[in-house]
Chains A and B, each alone.
Chain A
Amino acid sequence: MTTELFEYLLRLGDNSLVLGHRLSEWCGKSPILEEDIAISNTALDFIGQTQLWLGLAATVEGQGRSADDLAMLRDVWDFRNLLLVEQPNGNFGETIMRQYLFDAWHVLLLDGLTRSHHQEISAIAQKVVKEVRYHIERSRDLVIRLGDGTPVSHEKMQIALDRLWPYVGEMFDVDPVEHTLIEQGLIPDTSTLRAAFDAEVLKTFATATLTLPSSNFAHLGGKSGKRHSEHLGHLLTQMQWLQRAYPGATW
């Protein structure tokens, strides 16, 4: 159980770590000052969540590693985040679409995790779900406003949706790691969350005048660590550079 639990906590922590990093890349460069502040705020929430999930992962592992060690000293094949969150920011619309698709799943997952039999998981989920409810309010609102804005913005949002939709399936793919934890009542069965997710996004995309892609093809390999995209390695070269270049230093 410890192996599966460690693996799963890495998934939660790495999603927050990688997505928080991506969002932090926007700082100082957003289209509007208020959005710059909001996007940094969201990035900050994710960094905080990373500290909690990776901190718990390190405790569960029991090898004396810290959350920072896990974040800064693992290579691509040891990362367990979804392929969706490592996708590059693209234009502002792509960033918002990626965020919305993630949020729509994340809020359902966390709600389920609040009922985990694992006390710490449940406690962290209860804290985090409050932030995530705000995240989806913001990303949903922006998807609607940009989707149903100008012809230019509509086109950009449709392209973003088409580009990112193949990464949705991975969020609902239940593998042996998750099966073990579901059976023990530690995590919700994400495949049962798909209907609620579809209802959420269908409603939003209809209001945003966007068309849901007809194919449900799903890229897999991020959360299992089998095959990440090429983008993750570049992200890590930046994020981990100081720790790698000056090993053993205290910052």
Chain B
Amino acid sequence: MYAQMVTSDPRDETVEGQAFQARIDAGEKIEPRDWMPEGYRKTLIRQIGQHAHSEIVGQLPEGNWITRAPTLERKAILLAKVQDEAGHGLYLYCAAETLGVSRDEMTEMLLDGRMKYSSIFSYPTLTWADMGAVGWLVDGAAIMNQVPLQRTSYGPYARAMIRVCKEESFHQRQGFDIMMKMAKGTPAQKKMAQDALNRFWYPSLMMFGPSDKDSVHSAQSMAWKIKMNTNDELRQKFVDLTVPQAEYLGLTIPDPDLKWNEERGHYDYSEPDWSEFYDVLKGNGPCSVDRIETRKKAWDDGAWVREALMAHSEKQKTKVAAE
């Protein structure tokens, strides 16, 4: 997911901590000025920060194709979509800032490796069909997680998710539309579409994170209602929804063991290679180094701009004060 393997702080057992938990259990929203346990605050900063970073780093694999989009309309749609992601990053950084951390601090933490972004964005986009696959599968997987997060306990996060979800469903549809065109297109286009599915299927399943049925962190985050479902529940839901869509497109999911299980009422599917997932999280994804280098270059190259805008604003203040 956009926030993966978030370490959660332990539960607060004080009287305030128990009263806080009671508010959450009663379905109340926690707002920035409300008292909250330190662990809740820190865990949320990690989670929302990682989510925000994923939106920003997530601009890059799709940004990779903006200048090569095949038509004016496709270019406009893709650019609008990537711009939306920057907007999502902005809402999320703002939500995290209400917890007492600045956007600049979070950015520094991303760039020096103290904070992470989703594993999926460390994979390359190699053909135009990847723009379809990213929209269809990656945004599709993100929606699975983000729809329930609209009900998360932290008010600013929940409200950001409501806006994000509206746009994500449009993204997913445009991705599917690209896949449709490719899958029904020339033999070369169809080959590209299948190749994109082959490369993005398992990384998309990894987005949900490894099974968390025994994870202490997940249990605590679920009690705080900052994680709403287990990773396995969401992954199953994603598979069940995606398989018929692939069939509709006439594409084959790269899993020979994939089959409908009548008894469970779900598809059985193969687990992704989790060692690859852990490698990616450690910074060994195919594009991990490139992504951070690109972000770091943007940040460093832009330093003079940010400094100049601050300096100008200070000059204006001094001028106003002198008048």
Q: Which of B67-119 contact A (CB under 8 A)?
A: 67-76, 79-80, 82-83, 86-87, 89-90, 93, 103
Main SS at interface, chain B? helix
Cβ contacts A240-251/B at 8 Å (1 or 0 each): 011100101111
Judged by a CB distance under 8 angstroms, whether A21 is at the interface is yes
Binds A, one of B154-162, B238-246, B281-289, B303-311: B303-311
Q: Is the CB of A251 within 8 A of B181?
A: yes
Given A33-B93, A149-B311; A249-B189 close (CB under 8 Å): yes
Count of chain B residues near A, Cβ 8 A: 49
Judged by a CB distance under 8 angstroms, whether A93 is at the interface is yes
Judged by a CB distance under 8 angstroms, whether A204 is at the interface is no
- The CA-CA distance from A72 to B69 in the complex, in Å, is 10
Q: Is the CB of B71 within 8 A of A31?
A: no
- The CA-CA distance from A44 to B181 in the complex, in Å, is 23
Binds B, one of A1-9, A45-53, A164-172, A221-229: A45-53
Q: Is the CB of B68 within 8 A of A238?
A: yes
Give the nearest-CB partner of B303 in chain A. A31
CB distance from B71 to the nearest CB of A (A): 5
Q: Is the CB of B189 within 8 A of A37?
A: no
- The CA-CA distance from A239 to B311 in the complex, in Å, is 38
- The CA-CA distance from A43 to B72 in the complex, in Å, is 12
Q: Is the CB of A40 within 8 A of B305?
A: no
Q: Is the CB of A33 within 8 A of B56?
A: yes
User: Which chain B residues border A241 with CB–CB below 8 Å?
Assistant: 68
Judged by a CB distance under 8 angstroms, whether A24 is at the interface is yes
Judged by a CB distance under 8 angstroms, whether B63 is at the interface is yes
- The CA-CA distance from A144 to B307 in the complex, in Å, is 14
Binds B, one of A77-85, A107-115, A150-158: A150-158
Judged by a CB distance under 8 angstroms, whether A148 is at the interface is yes
- The CA-CA distance from A35 to B307 in the complex, in Å, is 14
Judged by a CB distance under 8 angstroms, whether B188 is at the interface is yes
Judged by a CB distance under 8 angstroms, whether A25 is at the interface is yes
- The CA-CA distance from A47 to B67 in the complex, in Å, is 12
CB < 8 Å neighbour of A27 from B79, B90, B188, B308: B79
Judged by a CB distance under 8 angstroms, whether A216 is at the interface is no
Judged by a CB distance under 8 angstroms, whether A91 is at the interface is yes
User: Which chain A residues border B185 with CB–CB below 8 Å?
Assistant: 249-251
Q: Is the CB of B308 within 8 A of A146?
A: yes
User: Which chain A residues border B186 with CB–CB below 8 Å?
Assistant: 246, 248-249
Q: Is the CB of B305 within 8 A of A146?
A: yes
Give the nearest-CB partner of A156 in chain B. B304
User: Which chain A residues border B86 with CB–CB below 8 Å?
Assistant: 27-28, 33, 36-37, 40
CB < 8 Å neighbour of A68 from B72, B181, B301: B72
Judged by a CB distance under 8 angstroms, whether B43 is at the interface is no
User: Which chain A residues border B313 with CB–CB below 8 Å?
Assistant: 145
List 29 A–B pairs whose Cβ atoms lie within 8 Å, in order of A's numbering: A24-B79, A25-B67, A27-B59, A28-B298, A29-B298, A32-B309, A34-B90, A36-B86, A40-B86, A43-B79, A44-B83, A51-B72, A51-B73, A68-B72, A72-B70, A92-B302, A145-B312, A146-B308, A146-B312, A150-B311, A153-B305, A153-B311, A239-B68, A246-B188, A246-B189, A249-B188, A250-B185, A251-B71, A251-B181
Other CB < 8 Å A-B pairs besides A146-B308, A249-B189, 5 of them? A29-B294, A29-B298, A35-B305, A68-B72, A150-B308
